Structure 1
Amino acid sequence: MKLLLKEDVDGLGFCGDEVEVKDGYGRNFLIPKGKALLATPNNLKAFNHQKRVVQSKVKKVIATVQAIADEIAKVTCTVKKKVGDTGKMFGSVTAQEIADLLKVQGVDIDRRKIQIAEPIKKAGEYKIPVKLHSAVTAEIKLVVEAEQEVAASAEELSEPAASAPEAEQEKEAKE
């Protein structure tokens, strides 16, 4: 029996292939499950037409996604994160933060499309891949800068602590 596959079937073929199978396998499994059609001239013609329509839609989607990828390639995101005395960052840069930065710059992307391989916990420049489509991947340039407020506030905290023993000594001297 000759069949036209409507989807990929393991061990048999890929979508759109014309295959020869045993009658029972075709009638009892492939056709009822919607995985194949009889390979008649009308079905071949209809399937080829449908395939062309789908391919044209996919081309339009890829063109749109490629335009978004070009916009993303031009964008540089800058994140300021607080760091401690040792230079270690508190927390890490997340995909949601990157998505929010892109949204501010006019590019709206779902955070799940941003692929951070490992947590970003150090200051520096990173190239973050964004998988927009199975055929299109863009890269965002991310600059992580250290914000030194934490170090400054730590110094302020240590100064009153240092002056506290002096205040106690003055109180003891008065008594």
Structure 2
Amino acid sequence: METALAEDLSHAPVFVRRPGGEIVYWTQGARELYGYTPKQAIGHSSHDLLRTEFPRSLHEIDTELERNGSWDGLLRHCRQDGRHIWTESRWRRRRDTEGRGLFVVETNTDVSDREHLSRELDHRVKNLLAVVQGLAHLTLRTDEPDKVDRFEARLAALASANDILLRLHWSGASLKEVE
């Protein structure tokens, strides 16, 4: 059973690294995703090899990994051919019997297409809001500046709420954040 499981996992983009980042195991799936052979990857820092861009400081992520035993997030990596990709990354810390962190198992799924589409949608929404604001300004040309100011403030608030949602990748925001 362990052999079958290892065979199944070999096709997934998975690698194992020491807590400091040194790669000790590299699957065929990782080779297919990143372009590096095991010989090229093993012994190198995963963060340096893949030129990883983190959503926040690596220290903060490592602290969460140490505290919870796992971390999930969106990373930007660079393949061997120089192409940048977005990955949903899952890190799991493996410990020895005395509780020391021995290895980190890192699984990465290429979500580049989804990220590019999301960013395109975000861009189009911003453009649409700019058009609405322009039309509203033309429509409300009046001698009542207070009315125009209030309406423009509402449009600015709508644009601000959109910016907050974009920053959170449309995963949701509290009402307090968008007020």
TM-score calculated relative to the size of structure 2? 0.31
Higher Cα Rg: structure 1 or 2? 1
